[in-house]
Amino acid sequence: MLPKIAAKTYNMSAHVCSVGESAHEQNSSARHADLGDFRVGEKRAEAWHPDDNGKIKTMPDYAIESITTWDARFPLPDGAGMDALHTNSEYCFAVTLLGSRDGLCGTGIALTLGEGNRLVCEAIELLARPLANMEIEELMSDFGRMSRRLADDPSLRWLGPHKGVIHLALASITNACFDLWAKSRKLPLWKLLIDLTPEEVVRLLDLSYLEEILGEQDTLQLLRSKIADRTERMSVLRSGYPGYDTSVGWISYDDRKVRELTARAIDQGFRAFKLKVGSAENGRDLRRAAMLRECIGNSGTLMFDANQSWSLPVAIPICRSLAAYRPLWIEEPTHPDDIRAHVTLAEQIAPVKIAAGEHIPNRILFKNFMQAGGLHYVQADCTRLAGVSEFLTVSFLAKKFGLPVAPHVGDMGQLHQHLVLFNHVALGHQILFLEHIPHLRSHFVFPAHLKDGRYAPPQEPGASCDLRLVSGKNP
């Protein structure tokens, strides 16, 4: 089936936004380098560096001249994308396009699953209006303040606050801002973020409601404390960031298909795999868990994902049974709002670890989970949180609490491949895994490149979110 798309535009001028053309054609040679040939530390845009007298050169002005939303829907192959609760094989992006001069355009995405996508697009149209005619450098120089202004819109905040349709809209808008910013500086987002001063990073964040745990000075100190040994962590730009494959274990796949896909993923270099659980019969979950453990061997890393399907009384015994297959974590074992149940479960199934975050919508709830000890792996998602900005805030929180970040990838890994590099290099987060879901690969202008199961750092300017369907570049 072909993808479906609908669009609305809110114009501030006669400008036409051309996604994935001018900005990328100017850098057509900047493709993914081989893992052994990353252009680490290269000056991609001389205009962003001091001149011989130590003065910062003038930056070109890129104002937001048009705001366009796209309701993009992608039917998946039979069974792909299905879990215990979400059984429709369709991935959708609520897309924000921020058009500027010279055809430059920022693309932002937030993931939904079907009809709700149009609601997020309508919310984007309402929420994004304050960005009209703003210069991108001015906007990003204090983006944390703008993020809070948008999140606290006096009318739209009532629909959340800071969750649901309105927060998904803010995610898409925010991600478009970061994409436009990186493109305007002719840098991949990971490099732009890593090159910022600690003070510039902090101004990207909204730290409200976190002050008792994480204030501006705490955040600055975290960044400054990691500067001295940053060079040691830059090796990830040469080796790539390890991925894990979710696509082998969708809940509707039969045993034969799981085996075939796992064997193929192992041939591609993957060493970590996730299996969907939460079947109507616990015995099916246990059989599939044993099968996948056999397929990947004792050295492979295995995760289980229940997608919120269990109540606490159900979760305790089944998690104890699944522990026999030595999972790295059990993901979303119960309702994402039930912090107390997560805490109880963590105590009852120890030493098995809990991962959560796919449906934790904001930094305040993440703070509560961390304070309570309700999760061990932080699965922040910049298409569920308020975009890149709140993802970074949650990453700072996780560092404060000594917790690892393993993002859920509602973006299919396109944007998060930038953010995990910042987390490791700038914050000192450990290298863990970045989820890999390949089903929409052909729909991106610059799909994530993996070699030997590792994400190669992108070389194109921007956040890697441009879609072929939107740009007119058909797969």
What's the pLDDT tens digit per position in 22-76? 333 333 223 232 233 322 222 223 334 444 454 445 567 899 999 999 999 999 9
pLDDT value at residue 59: 62
Question: Percent of the chain having pLDDT more than 70?
Answer: 87
Maximal CA-CA distance, the chain: 70
In angstroms, the Cα distances linking 450 to 142, 146, 176, 180, 413 are 34, 35, 24, 24, 11
Q: 83 pLDDT band (50/70/90 cuts)?
A: very high
Q: Please give the positions annotated as active site.
A: 276, 408
What are the φ/ψ torsions at residue 98 (nearest 5 degrees)? -110, 105
Query: For residue range 386-406, what is the model confidence (pLDDT) as tens digits?
Result: 999 999 999 999 999 999 999
Instruction: Please tell me the distance from the alpha carbon of residue 419 to that of residue 61, in angstroms, as a whole number.
Output: 25
- The CA-to-CA distance between both ends of the chain, in Å, stands at 13
Tokens of 376: 């061990």
| Strand partners for 208 | none
pLDDT value at residue 461: 98
pLDDT value at residue 49: 40
Q: Which residue has the higher pLDDT, 97 or 3?
A: 97
- Indicate the average pLDDT of the chain: 90
Tokens of 283: 């015995």
Strands (E), 39-129: 66-75, 90-99, 105-112
Do 312 and 347 touch, CB atoms closer than 8 A?
no
Query: For residue range 154-203, what is the model confidence (pLDDT) as tens digits?
Result: 999 999 999 999 999 999 999 999 999 999 999 999 999 999 999 999 99
Per DSSP, the residues of 194-245 read HHS-HHHHHTT---TT-TTT--HHHHHHHHHHTTTTHHHHTTHHHH-EEEEE
Do 15 and 65 touch, CB atoms closer than 8 A?
yes
pLDDT value at residue 375: 98
pLDDT value at residue 31: 28
pLDDT value at residue 234: 97
Question: Could you tell me the pTM of the whole model?
Answer: 0.90
pLDDT value at residue 61: 86
3-state class of 267 per DSSP? Answer: helix
Question: Percent of the chain having pLDDT more than 90?
Answer: 85
Spatial neighbors of 300 by CB under 8 A, at least 6 apart, are 271, 272, 273, 293
In angstroms, the Cα distances linking 111 to 152, 290, 322, 335 are 22, 32, 29, 19
Q: 474 pLDDT band (50/70/90 cuts)?
A: low
Neighbouring CB atoms inside 10 A of 26's CB total 15
Instruction: Please tell me the distance from the alpha carbon of residue 474 to that of residue 438, in angstroms, as a whole number.
Output: 17
The answer on pLDDT for 331 being more than 60 is yes
Cβ density class 27-38: b for 16+ within 10 Å, e for less: beebebbebeeb
Give yes or no for a cis peptide into 457 (omega within 30° of 0). Answer: no
Q: 378 pLDDT band (50/70/90 cuts)?
A: very high
Q: Which of 113, 30, 134, 175 is nearest to 466 (CA)?
A: 175
Burial class (CB in 10 A: 0-12, 13-18, 19+), 411: buried
Instruction: Please tell me the distance from the alpha carbon of residue 238 to that of residue 424, in angstroms, as a whole number.
Output: 13
Cβ density class 271-301: b for 16+ within 10 Å, e for less: bbbbbbbbbeebeebbebbebbbebbeeebb
Q: 320 pLDDT band (50/70/90 cuts)?
A: very high
Tokens of 350: 């120890």
The answer on pLDDT for 11 being more than 70 is no
Burial class (CB in 10 A: 0-12, 13-18, 19+), 338: middle
Spatial neighbors of 111 by CB under 8 A, at least 6 apart, are 91, 92, 93, 383, 384, 410, 411
Instruction: Please tell me the distance from the alpha carbon of residue 430 to that of residue 427, in angstroms, as a whole number.
Output: 9
Query: For residue range 428-449, what is the model confidence (pLDDT) as tens digits?
Result: 999 999 999 999 999 999 999 9
Give yes or no for a cis peptide into 447 (omega within 30° of 0). Answer: no
Averaged over 87-113, what is the pLDDT?
Answer: 95
pLDDT value at residue 105: 97
Q: Which residue has the higher pLDDT, 110 or 58?
A: 110
pLDDT value at residue 304: 98
For 8, half-sphere exposure in the C-beta direction (CA atoms, 13 angstrom radius) is 13
